[in-house]
Chains A and B, each alone.
Chain A
């Protein structure tokens, strides 16, 4: 019964989209796409990373408007495939009869309401082989829903694809935007290049509240408790001592005209360990959970056998149409993993979906409107093909991703083509080069460390590298340091190429003991091809003895500092236009993609504080009591004693004689 109802539902979807123009199919099937469409797919890939600036935001808005307008649809490859694939999904459902439809969906159909579908689900996987021999896989699941969750009068209670738990959180706490990431490991920018979605080790949570919220701090506190329940993480450790309100580094990514930092809360827990118990609730937010589609690959025994693991949830409002009168909610769930060549891959430069995830792909998620796998087949910097991919498909795509021209092989899981005769897709990647090749240094990267020795003072050094040969660009550096490291802000120095580099903007909020941390934001111009060193000294505070954690000698974490920058892209570096393309597109050397937004997180720091020996209190109590008793006793004695001249006392013999005489009852001598 449920299957049939669900089938009907999808039939409606098909009818709805059936009226779309057929035009687009022509260009879709002829493999290599033309340049004009590749521009759009560029947008698409851009959109797949979380856009981070208002600049991106504009672009994204535009993208969404395009999709919403049927007349514009021929330019959007996503909607094209959607239209093409819907019958396939329907037939699958009817054949198999299995359905993942949750109860709410049944209720919706049975109650006889017009089944107006206003939510969509898309899934994709990008596999990028890295020059070091490692493999980077990035999953992204996007659910968007044209509804207003924040409307207090009309409460939304019917949830279809959008997870109810998150929807209720949004309406209860009047959230404008929510970004949470769980990361285990550190992204090695120097070996792996920039990630699609940067995240600091541990948990990062930042939330923009609606400006109707009266008491932001209380909402924030409650929200963290609720989220720690949803994600099974210790987010309840977020309190005022690690929450900050960055003034410039974290702007809303979705539709918002409010940038008042009073409604922003940002916190990082660098010590939080991410494991299976965080992955399971994350997977449960997906419409197909991990039963079908790309999510079948997410098996924890393999995911946690990697060098890097990062999962995130991003919720933000986006525009519904070109006029942007209405907004819809977008939920992006992303998961990035890097598999290690030596530890996981047994030093063999051969990877497959099965080797990585111990699963293969057999079907897309039936609820998804698109389901794709992209494999990066970009040539090495020298121009050789780096890998061999099997099974090869004809559909390829060019895009400029993070300022770099990339080439992707696209597996559209909605079509039967990729599955082959075995009805399962196991993508094989085989390296053609057997040695690791040197990667070009990333244009922007940073590292941070603690200098000095001893337990009294120290220095936090941040090295920021601008490897661009001729362009300078500004970066926004944000540091949040716990109160128990007392920053000497007068020692702050920014030095580039041996010369002082004065930041053009500094926002500093000093810490208050046991209340809130230091927040330091700076806008620094990085000269081309330079290393900028930011140094600030600190003093280590002695905590109260109950404030130490159970393992005080492990050290105390200082969360990663955040660098946000518009980085000049490597494409613009390419002066002689070796890459093919129409001549009219590169008439001017600075192209549209000349810079891209990037966020770089540095390492968290582990700092030892002066730690008492906790077995000592007993000794200390004994010692202090003795000292006090001796000191006080003797002083009291001297103060209260009356001194008087005494006659010279008798000798020992006489005294003994006196004692004996007293015993005898005779008067003493």
Chain B
């Protein structure tokens, strides 16, 4: 460690860092981005493989042939559903009971903090029906779960039909070692959240639900089915869960293995596998797939019903049947075989999924990027902040040395630092709390609906935050010193680095997207120079703009581009959904942005307007 204790070499090092700071930063940024883009290139990634021994060696034979029965169940179900105008609880209970399951139901109700306009719901009341297949000679300690949602507007009758047909087929088999829960949940995610909270006897989101009676121990894995046609052409697997959590990679591998065995087409992010990795279209295809996954994961929203299981350490995926214009179609028996095979393998599990990766990106179903491969890309971006901070530190420690005789008073300097930070965080708090609290007031005074009131209040507070630097400086006299903004910037950079680092550990995609946008501007803002340019750049990388651009980019990647107006509407909806997700399922993206990232960004904004 002579490097630090030897003043000469230290000086040499600091000289190097300060002199070459800007080129180093630029280089880090380029390397980081290139590294990330390289992740989608096939030779750089690993092939997926099954780590779990219990999954690999045992063979299972699928014998499910009751596709017609599944279809007749689904027809009956849709008939009863139309008659009742909701989930036909009694019919489901009766049908499941006659198949020899232990049937229970759970009612729940939830009033949303404000009406959800995209799904048209405000006061939600519903019932979940679930049947438990008790495994013979098993002590009710473990179970696996199959679920199908039944919510208004969406047509998932075939999934329910298949679930019932599978239940009745599974009931006659003797090889089950784990109980199997067949769950039909109403109001998709809200019902699932209610069910999961009741099952684990916790209440985090304020859902009122009836006490639950039947349980089947620790759920080891869950599969959520979405089918809306009698035949399908391919299966899409959805992995992204709440807060960007992902299921163990082995579960995805299991799905892929059975698709291969049965010969079914399978996709991820709706994208098929391509073999021409060495061509540009092939590369851009897998990059496209990976970027879609990054965008979906960074939103922190559960992309399917499975997403809520992950919090309870239950590995889960959603399987979505797609019926496109392809010629070759698969009937219900084949789909049933796929699910049967997966369940039989899950039944063989001796331990919970733990062998394979929990943190990964998927450029295709056969290739994966593990945390060890993608983290360097992020580290390079964070390194920029570190280098800048080091540079500022050196500058700060040198400045008083020169102006030694001026005897600068440290008092106002501290205050001038603390005040903007404090005010920025207060704005963040206001952004977090006010939209919900003031919705009544807003609807009284303006001709808007509650949802619009919430969204526009949020935007208003967000924009109002931009005006703050002027006001803070009016309050503080004589604070604008060279040293002051440098200290503030140093603090902000370190703060941002810690924030992004922590975010990336939990939700890599979110952390990475924020880093890509915010880091370069954060590194180079200063109150001198082309201020307008800086200000414009900062606004462009502010979290809200990032969201707007991400939405546009997402639709572009989906090969379904949207106009700017549509994008704006989507943006408004995304804000309201983000707030709702936080209140309904405990998603952390909204509080993270409003309480930490936005105040941090405001600090940077303060620096630009430092006087």
Q: Are A641 and B218 in contact (CB under 8 A)?
A: no
Nearest residue in A to B6 (C-beta to C-beta)? A641
In the assembled complex, A359 has its CB within 8 A of some CB on chain B: no
Bound CA–CA A452/B202 (angstroms)? 6
Bound CA–CA A311/B139 (angstroms)? 15
Closest chain B CB from A607 CB (angstroms): 8
Closest chain B CB from A458 CB (angstroms): 9
Taking CB atoms, residues of chain B closer than 8 Å to A344 are 174
Contact of B201 among A435, A461, A604 (CB under 8 A): A461
- Interface digits, A434-473 against B, CB 8 Å rule (1 contact, 0 not)? 0110000000000101111111000101010000000000
Taking CB atoms, residues of chain A closer than 8 Å to B312 are 453
Q: Are A343 and B174 in contact (CB under 8 A)?
A: yes
Taking CB atoms, residues of chain A closer than 8 Å to B271 are none
From 134 to 157 in chain B, residues with beta carbon under 8 angstroms from any chain A beta carbon are 134, 136-142
Closest chain A CB from B53 CB (angstroms): 11
Q: Are B1 and A557 in contact (CB under 8 A)?
A: no
In the assembled complex, A185 has its CB within 8 A of some CB on chain B: yes
Most buried by A among B4, B5, B350, B352: B352
Q: Are B136 and A340 in contact (CB under 8 A)?
A: yes
- Residues A634 and B218 in contact in the complex (CB < 8 Å), given A307-B136, A308-B137, A343-B173: no
In the assembled complex, B125 has its CB within 8 A of some CB on chain A: no
In the assembled complex, B470 has its CB within 8 A of some CB on chain A: no
Q: Are B141 and A604 in contact (CB under 8 A)?
A: yes
Closest chain B CB from A654 CB (angstroms): 15
Taking CB atoms, residues of chain A closer than 8 Å to B172 are 342-343, 346-347
In the assembled complex, A624 has its CB within 8 A of some CB on chain B: no
Taking CB atoms, residues of chain A closer than 8 Å to B480 are none
From 587 to 632 in chain A, residues with beta carbon under 8 angstroms from any chain B beta carbon are 603-608, 611, 630
In the assembled complex, A231 has its CB within 8 A of some CB on chain B: no
Q: Are B142 and A606 in contact (CB under 8 A)?
A: yes
Nearest residue in A to B100 (C-beta to C-beta)? A342
Segment of B40-48, B209-217, B359-367, B505-513 engaged in the interface with chain A? B209-217
In the assembled complex, A638 has its CB within 8 A of some CB on chain B: yes
In the assembled complex, A553 has its CB within 8 A of some CB on chain B: yes
Q: Are A447 and B1 in contact (CB under 8 A)?
A: no
Taking CB atoms, residues of chain B closer than 8 Å to A607 are 218
- Interface digits, A184-217 against B, CB 8 Å rule (1 contact, 0 not)? 1110101100000000011000000000000000
In the assembled complex, B8 has its CB within 8 A of some CB on chain A: yes
In the assembled complex, A655 has its CB within 8 A of some CB on chain B: no
Closest chain B CB from A611 CB (angstroms): 8
Q: Are A453 and B351 in contact (CB under 8 A)?
A: no
Taking CB atoms, residues of chain B closer than 8 Å to A451 are 200-202
In the assembled complex, A384 has its CB within 8 A of some CB on chain B: no
Bound CA–CA A301/B22 (angstroms)? 77
Closest chain A CB from B576 CB (angstroms): 27
A-B contacts counted at CB < 8 A amount to: 115
Q: Are B215 and A447 in contact (CB under 8 A)?
A: yes
Nearest residue in B to A453 (C-beta to C-beta)? B312
Bound CA–CA A349/B156 (angstroms)? 34
Contact of A447 among B7, B213, B311, B352 (CB under 8 A): B213
Q: Are A649 and B218 in contact (CB under 8 A)?
A: no
From 279 to 312 in chain B, residues with beta carbon under 8 angstroms from any chain A beta carbon are 311-312
Bound CA–CA A454/B586 (angstroms)? 15
In the assembled complex, A309 has its CB within 8 A of some CB on chain B: yes
In the assembled complex, A646 has its CB within 8 A of some CB on chain B: yes
Nearest residue in B to A602 (C-beta to C-beta)? B140
Secondary structure at the B interface, as helix, strand, loop or mixed, is loop
Contact of B218 among A270, A555, A630 (CB under 8 A): A555
Bound CA–CA A649/B9 (angstroms)? 11
Q: Are A201 and B352 in contact (CB under 8 A)?
A: no
Bound CA–CA A403/B449 (angstroms)? 63
Bound CA–CA A486/B295 (angstroms)? 42
Contact of B351 among A186, A304, A461, A554 (CB under 8 A): A554
Nearest residue in A to B353 (C-beta to C-beta)? A553
Q: Are B8 and A646 in contact (CB under 8 A)?
A: yes
Closest chain B CB from A352 CB (angstroms): 19
Q: Are B171 and A343 in contact (CB under 8 A)?
A: yes
Closest chain A CB from B126 CB (angstroms): 22
- Residues A637 and B97 in contact in the complex (CB < 8 Å), given A306-B136, A343-B172, A554-B351: no
Closest chain A CB from B105 CB (angstroms): 15
Q: Are B5 and A634 in contact (CB under 8 A)?
A: yes
Taking CB atoms, residues of chain A closer than 8 Å to B102 are 188, 190-191
Bound CA–CA A190/B101 (angstroms)? 13
Taking CB atoms, residues of chain B closer than 8 Å to A554 are 350-352
Q: Are B351 and A553 in contact (CB under 8 A)?
A: yes
Bound CA–CA A554/B355 (angstroms)? 12
Q: Are A307 and B137 in contact (CB under 8 A)?
A: yes
In the assembled complex, A341 has its CB within 8 A of some CB on chain B: yes
Nearest residue in B to A201 (C-beta to C-beta)? B139
Taking CB atoms, residues of chain B closer than 8 Å to A340 are 136
Bound CA–CA A611/B313 (angstroms)? 13
Contact of A185 among B137, B171, B215 (CB under 8 A): B137
In the assembled complex, A110 has its CB within 8 A of some CB on chain B: no
Secondary structure at the A interface, as helix, strand, loop or mixed, is loop
Q: Are A608 and B5 in contact (CB under 8 A)?
A: no
Bound CA–CA A342/B133 (angstroms)? 11
Taking CB atoms, residues of chain A closer than 8 Å to B97 are 436
Bound CA–CA A531/B213 (angstroms)? 10
Q: Are B139 and A604 in contact (CB under 8 A)?
A: yes
Q: Are A637 and B5 in contact (CB under 8 A)?
A: yes
In the assembled complex, A95 has its CB within 8 A of some CB on chain B: no
Q: Are B201 and A459 in contact (CB under 8 A)?
A: yes
Q: Are A453 and B140 in contact (CB under 8 A)?
A: no
From 297 to 343 in chain A, residues with beta carbon under 8 angstroms from any chain B beta carbon are 304-309, 340-343
Q: Are A309 and B2 in contact (CB under 8 A)?
A: no
In the assembled complex, A633 has its CB within 8 A of some CB on chain B: yes
Closest chain B CB from A300 CB (angstroms): 13
Nearest residue in B to A274 (C-beta to C-beta)? B137
Q: Are A309 and B137 in contact (CB under 8 A)?
A: yes
Closest chain B CB from A347 CB (angstroms): 7
Q: Are A553 and B354 in contact (CB under 8 A)?
A: yes
Most buried by A among B202, B217, B312: B217
From 222 to 270 in chain A, residues with beta carbon under 8 angstroms from any chain B beta carbon are 270
In the assembled complex, B98 has its CB within 8 A of some CB on chain A: yes
Taking CB atoms, residues of chain A closer than 8 Å to B4 are 634
Closest chain A CB from B2 CB (angstroms): 7
In the assembled complex, A547 has its CB within 8 A of some CB on chain B: no
Closest chain A CB from B478 CB (angstroms): 39
Taking CB atoms, residues of chain B closer than 8 Å to A184 are 137
- Residues A202 and B139 in contact in the complex (CB < 8 Å), given A341-B100, A453-B311, A553-B352: yes
- Residues A449 and B352 in contact in the complex (CB < 8 Å), given A186-B139, A436-B98, A608-B313: no
Bound CA–CA A523/B7 (angstroms)? 74
Q: Are A343 and B136 in contact (CB under 8 A)?
A: yes
Nearest residue in B to A636 (C-beta to C-beta)? B1
Closest chain A CB from B5 CB (angstroms): 6
Bound CA–CA A184/B139 (angstroms)? 7
Q: Are A641 and B5 in contact (CB under 8 A)?
A: yes
Taking CB atoms, residues of chain A closer than 8 Å to B200 are 450-453
- Residues A606 and B141 in contact in the complex (CB < 8 Å), given A307-B134, A343-B136, A453-B311: yes
From 106 to 158 in chain A, residues with beta carbon under 8 angstroms from any chain B beta carbon are 132
Taking CB atoms, residues of chain B closer than 8 Å to A555 are 141, 218, 352
A-B contact pairs, 5 of them (CB 8 A): A188-B102, A451-B201, A451-B202, A453-B202, A453-B312
Residues on A facing B (Cβ under 8 Å)? 132, 184-186, 188, 190-191, 201-202, 270, 304-309, 340-344, 346-347, 435-436, 447, 449-455, 459, 461, 463, 531, 551-555, 557, 603-608, 611, 630, 633-634, 637-638, 641, 646, 649
Residues on B facing A (Cβ under 8 Å)? 1-2, 4-5, 7-8, 97-98, 100, 102, 134, 136-142, 171-174, 200-202, 211, 213-215, 217-218, 311-313, 350-352, 354
Extra contacts, 9 of them, besides A186-B138, A459-B201 (Cβ < 8 A), are A307-B134, A436-B97, A451-B201, A453-B200, A603-B141, A604-B141, A607-B218, A634-B1, A638-B1
> Which 3 A-B residue pairs are closest in the complex by CB-CB distance?
A451-B201, A201-B139, A634-B1
